[in-house]
Amino acid sequence: MRAALPILAVLAVIVALWYAATVWMNAPWVRDQAARAGQEVTTSQLVRETMSQERPVLPAPHQVIAELWKGVTGQAVTSKRSLVYHAWVTVSATLLGFAIGTGLGILLAVGIVHNRAMDLSVMPWAIASQTIPILAIAPMIIVVLNSVGVQGLIPKAIISAYLSFFPVVVGMVKGFRSPDRMQLDLLKTYNASQGQTFWKLRWPSSAPYLFASLKVAVAASLVGAIVGEMPTGAVAGLGARLLSGSYYGQTIQIWAALFMAAIVAAGLVFIVGGIERATLKRMGLVR
Amino acid sequence: MRQGWPDWAKSPLIGFGAMIVLMAVIPLLSGQSPAATLGDGRLWLVLLVWAGAWLVNAWLAERARGRLSKAVVAAFFGLTLLLIWELVARLYAVPEVILPSPSRIAATFAANLGTLWIDFVQTFVKGALTGYVIGCAAAFLTAVLIDRSPFLQRGLLPIGNFVAALPIVGIAPILVMWFGFDWQSKAAVVVVMVFFPVLVNTVAGLSASEQMQRDLMATWNASYWQTLFKLRLPAAMPFIFNGLKIATTLALIGAIVAEFFGSPIKGMGFRISTEVGRLGLDMVWAEIAVAALAGSAFYGLVALIERRVTFWHPSQRH
C-alpha cells in the first residue's frame, strides 16, 4: 500500500493533466462550430462538448476506456471489430518471432562462447547491429517475402525474431561468461568435459542474464510485430488498427489500439518476470 | 609434435562436412534426388568460398592478440559475408526485386548521393537529432527536479520503467496528426521515445554516489547544489551516458518509423516506404546503409564523449 500511494498520486496527476489537455486541445473546434451556428458557448457547455466529440484531437480518458471496453466485450472475440482478435493476431506473431529469435540467439551465444573465431568475427557485428535502426527494414522484409509468396504470420514473426535476436545474443554471451575463474578451475580439477562445464556451470549461472535479456527481447518483439503490420496495408492486428485509424482520422480507435498494445506489452513482460522470479527462486538465486 | 588437424581448423572442417551432408539430406527429406544439389557447381563454389574464408578466419583468430588484429578478424568476416551475398546474387541471378547484389547497391548509393543527403538531413539532422536533444534535456531536467522529492521518485520511477517497455512508436500516428507531416512531428515522436530511458537512468545515477561521500560533502557544509554539481552529477555520468546511448538508437528508429505515417516527399522513412512500393530495392538498401552508418556514427560519438567525461570509471580503464 505504501508503495502504491505515490504511484497512484502520480497517475491521478497524469489523468488530471490529460483531461485539462483534452479541453484545451478540443476547444477550438467547439468554438468554431458554435461560431458557425451563431451561438455562444458557456464554459460548462464547452467542457462537456470537448469530451464527447466523435473525432477529437485528443480523446478524453473515459472515451478511450469506453472504446477499449467496447472493443473487448462488445462482440465475439473472433469478430473483425474485436480488439481481442487484433491483439491475438499481433501476439501470435510476437510469440513465434520471440521463440525463434531467442532460440537462435542462445545457440549463437553458445557458439561464440566456445569458438574463438566466432567470438572475434561475429560478436563485434552483433554489438554494432544494436546501434542500427533495424526496424527500418521491416517494410522491405514484408514486401520481399510477399513477392516470393510468404504472407501472414511468418514475415511479421521474422521481424520480431530479428529484433529479439541481438539482445539475447549479447546478454547470453555475458551470462555464459559470468562464472569466474575459480569456478571454471574447480570444474577443470574435476576433469569435467566442455559439455559438462556448459550444462552444470555456464547454463545455470546464465539464468539471471537470460531473463534480463528475455524481458528486453519480448518488448522488442512486440514492437517488431506491430511495425510489421503497417506496410501490408492494414489487414489485421494492432499495427493495422493504428494505421487505419490514422488514415480515417479515428483518433479514439488509435488510442484504444495503443492502450491495448500497452496492456499486451505489460502482460508479456509481467509473464516473463513471473517465470523469472519462480525460476530464480527455485535455483536459490533470490531470496 | 601435434598429430592431425590443429584445433582451430576443426570447427570449419566439421562445418564444411555438415553442409555437404545437408546438401544430400535436405533433398532426400523432401523426396527428391540429391543429385541435383550435389551436382550443382554453383553451390559447391559458394560452399568452398565459405569454408575457405572460415578456415582463414579461424587461423587469423587463433593468432589475433592486439586490438587491431581482432578488428581485422571482424572486418574479414564482414567482407566474407558481402562476398557470399554477391556470389549468390550473381550465380543464381536473384531478381533485383528480391535481393540486389552489394555491388549494385553500392552503385545506386554512389549515383544517388544527393537524394540520400537530402533524406539524411530531413530525417536525421532535423527529426532525430532535434528530438534527441530536446528529449534528453527534458528528461535530465525532470530527473534533477524530482530528485528532491522521494515521493515523486517512488511514483514516477515505476511508471517510467513501465512506459520504457511499451511500444511507444505507436504514438507516431497521433503525433503526426498533431504536428503535421514535416520534421516537427518526427522530432516529437523522438522526444517521447528517448524521454523515459534517459529519465530512469538519470534518476538511478543520481543515487549512485555513496553515503560516505555525501556525508563528506555535508561535513564540508556543501549546499544541495554544490553536492549535486561536484559529487552526484559526476557520479551519475556512467548511468546518464548509458541512457543517452540507448536513446541514440531509439531516436533514429522513431524518426524513420514516424515517416511511415506521413511525411513530405523527402526523408529516409519516406524513401524506404515509397521505394519498397516501386520495388526499387537497391535504393532501399542504400537508405538502410545510410541509416546503419548514421546510427553507428551517432552511437560512436556519444560513446566517445562518454570516454572523455567518465575517464575515471572502471569500465573505461584499459
Q: Do A136 and B162 touch (CB under 8 A)?
A: no
Report ipTM for this prediction: 0.81
CA distance B199 to chain A (A): 15
Tens digits of residue pLDDT in B237-262: 988 998 898 899 889 888 988 888 87
- Give the pLDDT band (50/70/90) at residue B171: confident
Nearest chain B residue to A122 by CA: give it: B74
Nearest to B156 among A10, A120, A227 (CB): A10
Q: What are phi and psi of A221, to 5 degrees?
A: -60, -40
Q: Do A136 and B291 touch (CB under 8 A)?
A: yes
CATH superfamily for domain B109-316: MetI-like (1.10.3720.10)
What is residue A257's predicted lDDT score, i.e. its pLDDT? 87
Q: Is residue A69 part of a domain?
A: no
Domain range annotation of chain B:
7-93, 109-316
Exposed/middle/buried for B136, CB within 10 Å: 0-12, 13-18, 19+? buried
B180-200 as b/e: b if 16+ CB within 10 A = ebbbbbbbbbbbbbbbbbbbb
Q: Residue B307, SS3?
A: helix
Long-range contacts of B68-71 (CB under 8 A, 24+ apart): B70/A120, B71/A124
Interface of A with B in 29-88 (CB under 8 A): 57
Residue found by looking up cell 484504444 in the block = A256
- Give the pLDDT band (50/70/90) at residue A100: very high
CATH number at residue A204: 1.10.3720.10
Residues in chain A with CB shorter than 8 Å from the CB of B249 are 130-133
What is residue B170's predicted lDDT score, i.e. its pLDDT? 82
Q: Which three cell numbers stand for residue B200?
A: 530512469
Q: Residue A90, SS3?
A: helix
The DSSP string of B124-159 is IIIIIIHHHHHHHHHHHHHHHHHTT-HHHHHHHHHH
- Mean pLDDT across B187-204: 90
Nearest to B256 among A135, A223, A245 (CB): A135
What is residue B183's predicted lDDT score, i.e. its pLDDT? 86
Nearest to A133 among B151, B177, B256 (CB): B256
- Mean pLDDT across B96-109: 87
A267 lies within 8 A of chain B by CB: no
Provide the domain count of chain A.
2
Does residue A234 register a pLDDT over 70? no
Tens digits of residue pLDDT in B217-239: 999 999 989 999 989 999 899 88
What is residue B1's predicted lDDT score, i.e. its pLDDT? 45
User: Are A54 and A87 contained in the same domain?
Assistant: no
Beta strands in A66-116 (DSSP E): none
- Give the pLDDT band (50/70/90) at residue A243: confident
What is residue A1's predicted lDDT score, i.e. its pLDDT? 63
What is residue B139's predicted lDDT score, i.e. its pLDDT? 93
Does residue B318 register a pLDDT over 60? no
What is residue A147's predicted lDDT score, i.e. its pLDDT? 76
Tens digits of residue pLDDT in B46-84: 888 888 888 888 888 888 777 788 888 888 888 888 898
Residues in chain B with CB shorter than 8 Å from the CB of A57 are 177-178
The DSSP string of A178-213 is -S-HHHHHHHHHTT--HHHHIIIIIHHHTHHHHHHH
User: Are A261 and A125 contained in the same domain?
Assistant: yes
User: Are A122 and A22 contained in the same domain?
Assistant: no
Q: Do B159 and A10 touch (CB under 8 A)?
A: yes
Interface of A with B in 128-157 (CB under 8 A): 128, 130-137, 139-140, 143-144, 147-148
pTM of the model: 0.83
CA distance B110 to chain A (A): 20
Does residue A233 register a pLDDT over 60? no
- Mean pLDDT across A166-190: 90
Which amino acid appears at position B56 of this protein?
V
Specify the DSSP element, H or E, that contains A62: helix A61-73
Q: Are A224 and A135 in contact (CB under 8 A)?
A: yes
Residues in chain B with CB shorter than 8 Å from the CB of A237 are none
DSSP-assigned letter for residue B223: -
| Residue B22 vs residue B112, higher pLDDT | B112
CA distance B115 to chain A (A): 18
Q: Do B291 and A130 touch (CB under 8 A)?
A: no
Nearest chain A residue to B179 by CA: give it: A57
Residues ≥6 apart with Cβ < 8 Å to A1: none
Structural domain harbouring A159: 83-282
A258 lies within 8 A of chain B by CB: yes
Residues in chain B with CB shorter than 8 Å from the CB of A239 are 170
Nearest to A251 among B77, B174, B299 (CB): B174
Q: Do B281 and A144 touch (CB under 8 A)?
A: yes
Best of B257, B259, B271, B288 to disrupt the A interface by mutation (most A CBs within 10 Å)?
A: B257
User: Are A28 and A123 contained in the same domain?
Assistant: no
Q: Is residue A97 part of a domain?
A: yes
User: Are A202 and A249 contained in the same domain?
Assistant: yes
Q: Do A223 and B167 touch (CB under 8 A)?
A: yes
Does residue A125 register a pLDDT over 80? yes
**pLDDT above 70 as % of chain A:** 98
Highest mean pLDDT among A268-272, B25-29, B44-48: A268-272
Could you give the C-alpha distances from B196 to A5, A87, A260, A271, in angstroms and in order?
21, 25, 20, 22
* B131: Cα separation from own chain's centroid: 18
